[in-house]
């Protein structure tokens, strides 16, 4: 499966798509990146005058790359417009601030994928290679209505 095909199968589009590119994927790991455009709406008010990326958006970025994209890859030919990976649990530690214009890289290592449930250890790094946040994410395959 072509890496760009994985992104097109996601149920997200701008302004809520937080995947620019996938750099690597195999049965055990996925690596992708995203640059936070300074014009994203949430920067206008989170924190006014000193914008930072909200933790929920960092979590969503990790989930889109580390679960949703990974799920599409792992499903292979079974992935379709009728299926999606729904986030079911998170345990994230936030270590550094992400500012507008910053590019982050997400590395997601599969812990298990069985019975339609995917659990991963996920790390986000900034362009300097520093950990921004890390933790565990889990999701399950659902039928989209």
46 classed as catalytic:
yes
- Say how far apart CA 143 and CA 145 lie, in whole Å: 6
Which residues are CB-contacts of 66 (< 8 A; sequence separation ≥ 6)?
A: 30, 32, 106, 107, 108, 120, 122, 137
Q: State the catalytic residue, choosing from 46, 96, 119, 134.
A: 46
End-to-end CA distance of the chain: 25
Which residues are CB-contacts of 100 (< 8 A; sequence separation ≥ 6)?
A: 36, 37, 38, 40, 43, 51, 53
Enumerate the active-site residues: 46
């Amino acid at each position: 499966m072509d890496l760009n095909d994985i992104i097109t199968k996601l149920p997200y589009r701008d302004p809520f798509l937080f995947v620019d590119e996938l750099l690597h994927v195999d049965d055990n790991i996925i690596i992708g990146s995203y640059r936070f455009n300074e014009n994203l709406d949430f920067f206008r008010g989170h924190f006014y005058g000193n914008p930072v990326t909200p933790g929920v958006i960092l979590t969503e970025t990790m989930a889109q790359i580390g679960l949703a994209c990974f799920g599409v890859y792992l499903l292979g030919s079974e992935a379709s417009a009728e299926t999606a990976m729904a986030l079911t649990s998170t345990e994230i530690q936030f270590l550094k601030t992400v500012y507008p214009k910053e590019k982050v890289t997400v590395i997601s290592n599969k812990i298990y994928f069985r019975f339609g449930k995917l659990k991963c250890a996920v790390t986000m790094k900034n362009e300097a290679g520093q950990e921004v946040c890390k933790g565990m994410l889990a999701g399950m395959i659902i039928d989209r209505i």
